[in-house]
């Protein structure tokens, strides 16, 4: 049904390299099932399926997994080759060390280096040479892909303690709250992810047939479909469900189901950079965007399906979420917005 959605910012950021190289980005968008008109809406969002297709289409047309943003061309198939090497590693520590050694074979190198001390492990971004990454997408992608690949290999999300960035907080920095689910630090000495070192000993549980299936859509899926199953945010989303036509569970019931106190749950959500109200609002937003892509559904019916008894209240909420009315958003998806 409805999926987590991806901000318009990341759609435009993913296409910057292709645009500069002279590729027809409107064709790439259409191949991904995204109307170019939708990007006229500043706060528009696309589905994770559309975003995954966009990434794959961009890699294929450019034959560059760095999408023109890195210090060199990275031929398609490089990521798959690295995955073929690490699938035989015994645990996560071996995965990250093997992956780093693989990346060292290329000049200039783009990788993440594992550092371990008595308390924690860090993955530190290593980028040699000059990059053309004005919207920070290249650097963000490296963090996300390495983190989520490791999580997939061991069959559990690697819970982050901190995410650091060696650049100022970007205009889209609020999106980072929902990507990393941990405290964020900008203008840091290095760009890095910190996590409990106990994860390093987690065994790799995937096999080669699973890896072959995984590579049919990755690393695009790693960027478009975050695994929230081990976060309180994801567990609350699962408990709320998708049926907003009935009364939603209250916070105290949610806390009981998660075997914690309301006070502790509020604190944990704050650590994950969110709140119970925001989780409900974003679920409603993503469901509304999904339903608007179905031309057979009247907007008033959509309002009811996402939990609004009055269509006017839904219109106001949707405009707050996206900057436009549901009708204008639907026109953008159909490619019928006026110039």
Q: What is the pLDDT of residues 226-278, one digit of tens each?
A: 555 568 888 898 899 888 988 889 999 999 999 999 999 999 999 888 999 99
> In the chain, what percentage of residues exceed pLDDT 90?
79
Encode pLDDT of 35-80 as tens digits.
Answer: 999 999 999 999 888 998 999 999 999 999 999 999 999 999 999 9
* Position 1 confidence tier, pLDDT thresholds 50, 70, 90: very low
> Could you tell me the two tokens for 52?
């995954």
Confidence (pLDDT) at 2: 53
Sheet holding 110-116, edge to edge: 110-116, 120-127, 192-196, 160-164, 184-185
**Across the chain, what does the average pLDDT equal?**
92
| Mean pLDDT, range 312-323, rounded to an integer | 95
pLDDT computed for residue 225 by the predictor: 67
Q: Among 1-10, 70-79, 158-167, 268-277, which stretch is predicted with the lowest mean pLDDT?
A: 1-10
Average pLDDT over residues 201-213: 95
Q: 184: which strand partners?
A: 163
Cβ proximity of 308 and 314 under 8 Å: yes
CB 67 within 8 A of CB 13: no
Using an 8 Å Cβ cutoff, are 55 and 224 in contact?
A: yes
Task: Give the pLDDT band (50/70/90) at residue 339.
Answer: low
């Amino acid at each position: 049904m409805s999926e987590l959605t991806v901000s318009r910012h990341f759609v435009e950021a993913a296409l910057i390299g292709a645009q500069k190289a002279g590729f027809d980005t409107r064709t790439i968008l259409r191949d991904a099932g995204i109307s170019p008109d939708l990007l006229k809406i500043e706060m528009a969002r696309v589905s994770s399926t559309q975003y995954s297709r966009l990434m794959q289409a961009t890699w294929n047309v450019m034959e560059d997994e760095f999408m023109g943003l890195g210090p060199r061309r990275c031929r398609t198939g490089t990521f798959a080759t690295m995955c073929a090497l690490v699938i035989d590693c015994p645990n996560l520590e071996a995965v990250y060390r093997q992956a780093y050694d693989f990346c060292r074979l290329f000049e200039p190198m783009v990788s993440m280096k594992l550092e371990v001390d008595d308390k924690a492990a860090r993955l530190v971004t290593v980028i040699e040479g000059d990059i053309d990454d004005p919207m920070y997408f290249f650097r963000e992608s490296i963090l996300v892909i390495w983190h989520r690949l490791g999580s997939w290999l061991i069959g559990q999300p690697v819970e982050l303690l901190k995410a650091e960035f060696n650049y100022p907080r970007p205009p889209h920095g609020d999106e980072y709250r929902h990507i990393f689910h941990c405290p964020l630090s900008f203008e840091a000495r290095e760009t890095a992810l910190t996590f409990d070192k106990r994860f390093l000993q987690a065994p790799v549980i995937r096999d080669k047939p699973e890896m072959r299936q995984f590579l049919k859509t990755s690393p695009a899926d790693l960027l478009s479909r975050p695994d929230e199953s081990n976060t309180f945010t994801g567990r609350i989303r699962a408990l709320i469900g998708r049926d907003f036509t009935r009364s939603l569970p209250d916070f105290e019931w949610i806390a009981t189901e998660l075997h914690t106190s309301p006070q502790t749950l509020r604190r944990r959500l704050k650590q994950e950079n969110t709140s119970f109200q925001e989780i409900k609002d974003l679920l409603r937003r993503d469901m509304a965007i999904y339903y608007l892509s179905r031309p057979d559904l009247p907007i008033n019916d959509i309002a009811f399906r996402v939990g609004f008894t009055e269509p006017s209240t839904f219109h106001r909420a949707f405009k707050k979420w996206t900057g436009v009315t549901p009708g204008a958003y639907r026109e953008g998806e159909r490619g019928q917005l006026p110039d």
